[in-house]
Amino acid sequence: MAVFSDIHSNLEAFQAVMADMDLIGVDRRVCLGDIVGYAANPVRCLELVRSLGCPVVKGNHDAYAGNDNDLDQMRDVARCGIEFSQVQRGQNGVG
């Protein structure tokens, strides 16, 4: 079993981790959240996690990106990543 988290929209790193899991024969996975935020591929990362069919815990970045909460408490770079994820969500019909 493998537990992973904090993908933060970094598709290339996530794909590398997934390849390592496959290489060592991981048969069960659990995602502890923060799939989106910071990097450039929130939708692709979300789709990949969903395709695994594994349990997922919603991270704080996922929660912020999934609704219209006030982002004033977030650091600038985190806020930018969440706002980008929100735009991508809207453009791709991802909910």
**Residue 28's domain is classified under what CATH number?**
3.60.21.10
CB 35 within 8 A of CB 57: no
* Burial classification of residue 55, based on how many CB atoms lie within 10 Å of its CB (0-12 exposed, 13-18 middle, 19 or more buried): exposed
- For the whole prediction, is pTM greater than 0.85? no
- DSSP characters for 35-71? -SSSSS-HHHHHHHHHHHT--BPPPHHHHHHTS----
pLDDT in tens, 11-49: 999 999 999 999 999 999 999 999 988 878 898 999 999
Q: Which domain holds residue 42?
A: 2-92
pLDDT at residue 16, as a whole number: 98
Structural domains counted in the chain = 1
Cross-strand bridge partners of residue 25: none
